[in-house]
C-alpha cells in the first residue's frame, strides 16, 4: 500500500484508504501528515519532560501543537508544500526543546507502525480525540481564550503515545482525553458567547437576494466577523454555509443587515452548491472538498485550510484583521446572485436560550406531553445510509424532541416537525462544538428533576460521526458518564474488535440499526 488512513467514517471498504483518501487526500500528503504527527508527538514528549524538570514551555510551542494537529483533521489541508513547511517548523521546535533528553524508544512513522492491533486502536482513538481537542482549542485561542491545563495535557498525551503503555493505561488516557475534551468545549462556548453574545432563537432565511455575494463556510466566527465588517456598506451580501449556519443566531452578527441568511446545506454537497453560487467563497476551517474547475478561481482558503493552487488569504498580523479584499473584489466582479425564494428554519437554541424555556420543558415532561429527548448531534456525510437519521426524525412520535448540533442537522432541519406547546421539536444548539450546549441542557434538566445521573433522564443518544471533532465529542460524553449511545452510520474502522468490546461493556455503545426498531428502543429508553 502507498498510504494508510482510517481516521474518518468513509474509510475505504470500512477498513482504510491505502491508495488515495476518499476525502481527496493523495498518498504524498497522507504520508507527510503521518510524519507531522510523529514530530508533534516528539514535541509533546520533550515539552512534557521540560515541565517535569521545572522549566516553562513557550506558548508558541503549544499553539504549534494545536495548529499542527488541526491541520491533519479530515478535509483541512491537502497541500503537500504547506504540510512540509509545518514539519520543518516542528523539527526546529523539537530540537530546541530536546536538550539532553532522549525519546523513550525508537519510533516509526505511520498508523501501522504499531503492530499490536488493540494498542494501535487505542492510540489512534486517543490521537483522533486530541485532534478534536486541538480544533476546538484553536477556535478558542483565535478569539483570545486559552486554558493552560489543555496545553499541559496535550503535551503529555502526545508524549505518552510514544511509550509502551498497557491496554489499561491507554483506556485511562482515553477517558482523560474525554475529560479534557469536555473542558475544551466549555472553553470555546465561553469564548463564543462572551465575544458574540448568547445565541437567540432565530428564523434563518434560506433563499437569496439579488446582488454581489460572499459565501462563508467552515466554523471560524472571527473570520465571518471580519468579512462582515469589511463588506458593510459596500454592496456585497454575505451568506453562511454548512457549519457556519449557527452564526446567524449570535446577537453580534444580527446587526449586519447584509448577512442575508444561509445558502446551501451540508459540506458534502458543496461541489454542486458552490458551482451554482455566482459569488466568492471563503473556506475558514475544515470541510473542504476538491474544488471543481467551474469555481476554482472564486474560492479562497484561509487559516489552516489549503488546497494546491487555490488562492489563500494570509493570517492576520498581531492587532490587525485579515485582509479579505481579494474575495470582496472577486464577489463584485462576478455580478452576483439572482433573487430566489427560500423557507426559514429555526436555529439558536443553545443552552442559554433553552433554559429560558425550562419551565415549559419541565411542565411538558411532567404532563406527559414530552416523553423523550433524542440527541441526534454530530456530522453529516455522503453515504446514502445517512438517510437513517432523516427517517428516525420523521418516525419519532410527536411527543419526542430532537436535540441537535453539528452538520448532522441538515438531515432533518428542513422537515416540518412542529412543536410541543411552543417547544420546537428540533432544538438546534449550533455547530458541532455546541454539543456542549446539549450537555448543559441535560445537566440542568437533571437538576430540575432532582436526579443524580444523566442516564436517569428521558434522553437517548443517536449520534452521527464523520471525523475527529466528532470523536472528541463522543469521548467527552463518555467521560461525563453518558451510556447507551447509538453511533452510526458505521462504527469507526479504527476500533479493533477487542477495543469495541470494551466500549460496549463499559459504556453500552451500540451501532445504529433498522429505523423502526431503533425508534421503538429509543422511546423505551433502550
Q: Which residues pair with 428 in a beta bridge?
A: 404
Does the pLDDT at position 440 exceed 90? yes
Does the pLDDT at position 137 exceed 90? yes
pLDDT score, position 212:
98
Q: Verify that 166 and 253 share a domain, yes or no.
A: no
Q: Verify that 308 and 364 share a domain, yes or no.
A: no
Question: Cα–Cα distance between 457 and 451 in angstroms, integer?
Answer: 8
User: Residue 63: in which H helix or E strand, if any?
Assistant: helix 59-71
Q: Verify that 169 and 47 share a domain, yes or no.
A: yes
Structural domain includes residue 386: yes
Which has the closest alpha carbon to 512: 521, 501, 503? 521
Q: Verify that 301 and 382 share a domain, yes or no.
A: no
Q: Verify that 366 and 390 share a domain, yes or no.
A: yes
Structural domain includes residue 4: no
Helix, strand, coil abundance in the chain, percent, nearest 5: 50, 15, 35
Read off the pLDDT of residues 39-57 as tens digits, 9 standing for 90 and up: 999 999 999 999 999 999 9
Strand order in the sheet with 459-464: 426-428, 400-404, 372-375, 459-464, 486-488, 510-511
pLDDT score, position 1:
87
pLDDT score, position 308:
96
Read off the pLDDT of residues 208-224 as tens digits, 9 standing for 90 and up: 999 999 999 999 999 99
294 pLDDT band (50/70/90 cuts)? very high
Q: Verify that 32 and 50 share a domain, yes or no.
A: yes
Average pLDDT over residues 100-116: 93
pLDDT score, position 62:
98
Structural domain includes residue 433: yes
pLDDT score, position 154:
98
Map residue 299 onto helix, strand or coil: strand
Question: Cα–Cα distance between 89 and 92 in angstroms, integer?
Answer: 5
Contact status, residue 90 vs residue 47, Cβ threshold 8 Å? no
Structural domain includes residue 80: yes
Domain boundary among 269, 300, 334: 334
Question: Cα–Cα distance between 490 and 143 in angstroms, integer?
Answer: 35
At residue 493, what are phi and psi to the nearest 5 degrees?
A: -65, -25
Worst-scoring range by mean pLDDT, 113-117, 214-218, 333-337, 447-451?
Answer: 447-451
Number of domains observed in the structure of the chain: 3
Q: What is the mean pLDDT of the chain?
A: 96
Question: Cα–Cα distance between 413 and 430 in angstroms, integer?
Answer: 12
Q: Verify that 171 and 256 share a domain, yes or no.
A: no
Structural domain includes residue 53: yes
Q: Which residue has the cell 496545553?
A: 151
Does the pLDDT at position 197 exceed 90? yes
Structural domain includes residue 306: yes
270 pLDDT band (50/70/90 cuts)? very high
Please tell me whether the peptide bond between 76 and the residue prior to it is cis, using omega within 30 degrees of 0: no
CATH number of the CATH domain containing 410: 3.40.50.2030
Average pLDDT over residues 297-312: 97
Spatial neighbors of 7 by CB under 8 A, at least 6 apart, are 74, 124, 128, 131, 467, 468, 494
- Look up the domain containing 516 and give its range: 349-523
Q: Verify that 212 and 251 share a domain, yes or no.
A: yes
Residue 439 CB-density burial (10 A; 0-12 exposed, 13-18 middle, 19+ buried): buried
pLDDT score, position 282:
98
Q: Verify that 325 and 241 share a domain, yes or no.
A: yes
For the record, the C-alpha cell of 46 comes out as: 520533550
Which whole-number Å values give the CA distances from 206 to 62, 240, 242, in the listed order? 40, 10, 12
Contact status, residue 237 vs residue 262, Cβ threshold 8 Å? no
Domain boundary among 334, 359, 380: 334
Does the pLDDT at position 110 exceed 90? yes
Say which DSSP state 292 is in.
P
Average pLDDT over residues 120-141: 98
Q: Verify that 140 and 33 share a domain, yes or no.
A: yes
Q: Which residues pair with 375 in a beta bridge?
A: 403, 461
- Helix spans in 356-509 (H): 358-367, 387-395, 435-448, 468-479, 497-507
Domain boundary among 334, 362, 393: 334
Question: Cα–Cα distance between 81 and 62 in angstroms, integer?
Answer: 22
Q: What percent of the chain has pLDDT over 90?
A: 97
Amino acid at each position: 500500500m502507498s498510504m494508510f488512513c482510517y481516521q474518518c467514517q468513509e474509510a475505504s471498504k470500512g477498513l482504510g484508504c491505502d491508495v488515495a483518501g476518499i476525502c481527496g487526500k493523495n498518498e504524498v500528503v497522507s504520508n507527510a501528515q503521518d510524519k507531522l504527527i510523529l514530530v508533534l508527538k516528539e514535541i509533546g514528549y520533550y515539552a512534557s519532560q521540560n515541565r517535569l524538570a521545572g522549566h516553562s514551555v513557550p506558548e508558541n510551542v503549544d499553539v504549534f501543537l494545536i495548529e499542527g494537529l488541526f491541520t491533519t483533521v479530515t478535509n483541512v489541508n491537502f497541500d503537500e508544500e504547506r504540510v512540509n513547511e509545518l514539519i520543518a517548523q516542528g523539527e526546529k521546535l523539537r530540537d530546541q526543546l530536546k536538550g539532553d533528553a532522549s525519546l523513550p524508544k525508537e519510533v516509526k512513522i505511520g498508523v501501522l507502525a504499531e503492530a499490536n492491533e488493540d494498542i494501535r486502536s487505542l492510540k489512534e482513538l486517543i490521537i483522533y480525540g486530541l485532534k478534536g481537542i486541538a480544533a476546538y482549542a484553536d477556535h478558542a485561542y483565535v478569539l483570545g481564550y486559552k486554558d493552560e491545563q489543555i496545553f499541559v495535557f496535550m503535551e503529555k498525551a502526545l508524549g505518552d503515545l510514544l511509550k509502551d503503555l498497557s491496554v489499561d493505561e491507554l483506556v485511562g488516557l482515553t477517558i482523560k482525553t474525554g475529560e479534557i475534551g469536555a473542558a475544551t468545549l466549555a472553553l470555546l462556548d465561553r469564548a463564543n458567547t462572551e465575544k458574540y453574545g448568547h445565541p437567540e432563537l432565530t428564523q434563518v432565511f434560506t433563499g437569496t437576494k439579488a446582488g454581489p455575494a460572499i459565501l462563508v463556510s467552515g466554523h471560524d466566527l472571527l473570520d465571518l466577523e471580519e468579512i462582515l465588517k469589511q463588506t458593510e456598506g459596500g454592496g456585497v451580501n454575505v451568506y453562511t454555509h454548512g457549519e457556519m449556519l449557527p452564526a446567524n443566531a449570535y446577537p453580534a452578527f444580527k446587526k449586519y443587515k447584509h448577512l442575508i441568511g444561509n445558502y446551501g446545506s451540508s459540506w458534502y454537497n458543496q461541489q454542486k452548491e458552490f458551482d451554482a453560487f455566482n459569488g466568492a467563497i471563503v473556506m475558514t476551517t475544515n470541510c473542504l472538498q476538491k474544488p471543481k474547475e467551474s469555481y476554482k478561481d472564486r474560492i479562497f482558503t484561509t487559516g489552516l485550510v489549503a488546497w494546491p493552487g487555490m488562492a489563500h488569504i494570509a493570517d492576520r498580523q498581531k492587532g490587525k484583521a485579515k485582509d479579505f479584499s481579494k474575495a470582496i473584489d472577486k464577489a463584485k466582479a462576478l455580478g452576483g446572485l439572482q433573487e430566489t425564494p427560500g423557507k426559514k428554519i429555526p436555529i439558536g437554541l443553545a443552552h442559554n436560550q433553552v433554559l429560558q424555556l425550562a419551565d415549559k420543558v419541565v411542565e411538558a415532561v411532567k404532563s406527559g406531553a414530552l416523553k423523550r429527548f433524542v440527541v441526534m448531534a454530530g456530522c453529516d456525510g455522503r453515504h446514502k445510509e445517512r438517510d437513517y437519521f432523516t427517517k428516525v426524525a420523521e418516525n419519532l412520535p410527536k411527543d419526542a424532541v430532537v436535540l441537535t448540533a453539528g452538520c448532522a442537522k441538515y438531515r432533518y432541519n428542513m422537515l416540518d416537525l412542529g412543536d410541543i406547546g411552543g417547544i420546537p421539536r428540533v432544538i438546534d444548539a449550533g455547530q458541532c462544538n455546541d454539543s456542549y450546549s446539549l450537555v448543559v441542557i441535560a445537566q440542568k434538566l437533571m437538576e430540575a428533576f432532582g436526579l443524580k445521573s444523566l442516564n436517569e433522564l428521558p434522553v437517548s443518544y443517536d449520534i452521527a460521526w464523520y471525523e475527529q471533532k466528532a470523536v472528541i465529542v463522543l469521548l467527552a460524553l463518555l467521560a461525563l458518564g453518558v451510556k447507551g449511545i447509538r453511533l452510526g452510520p458505521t462504527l469507526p474502522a479504527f476500533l479493533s474488535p477487542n477495543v469495541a468490546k470494551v466500549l460496549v461493556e463499559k459504556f453500552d455503545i451500540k451501532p445504529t440499526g433498522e429505523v423502526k426498531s431503533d425508534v421503538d428502543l429509543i422511546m423505551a429508553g433502550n
